Every structure is written in structure tokens, then in C-alpha cells.
Amino acid sequence: MTSIVFAAAAQGDVSPGVLGFLVVAAIGFALFLLVKSMRKQISKIDLPAERDTRKPGGNA
């Protein structure tokens, strides 16, 4: 069994195949969902306007 694996590796016939593609696709899809959820959560944050954060009469 191991001689078959080493022979295939020596010939360069080893590739990630369908399983490797599915793993990368799943990670990409999970990243898409994470970014989508993060954008939704960030849009809920209420930041004060710039004019509200300034102190009256102060330049700094």
C-alpha cells in the first residue's frame, strides 16, 4: 500500500482532488458569511456625529 503512494508521489500524480476543492470552497463560503454578519453588526453601531463630540468653545 505505501509503495503505491510513494510511486504516485514520485511520478507527480498526487493532487488535492475534489476533497481539497470542497474544503477550500467551504472555507470561502464561511468567510463570506462571516463578513456579511460583521457588516450587519457594524452597521448597528451608533456613532455620535462629529459636531456632538466637540466641546463648545474649544479648538482641540
Give pLDDT tens digits for 17-53. 899 999 999 999 999 999 999 999 999 998 887 776 6
58 pLDDT above the threshold of 60: no
Q: What is the pLDDT of residue 39?
A: 97
* Cα 8 from Cα 18, distance rounded (Å): 17
Q: How far is CA 47 from the centre of its chain?
A: 26
**Dihedral angle of Cα 9, 10, 13, 16, to the nearest 10 degrees:** 30
Q: What is the pLDDT of residue 48?
A: 80
Q: What is the pLDDT of residue 15?
A: 81
Helix, strand, or coil here: 36? helix
Count Cβ atoms below 10 Å from residue 50 Cβ, excluding itself. 7
Check residues 25 and 16 and name the one with the higher pLDDT: 25
pTM of the model: 0.56
CB 14 within 8 A of CB 8: yes
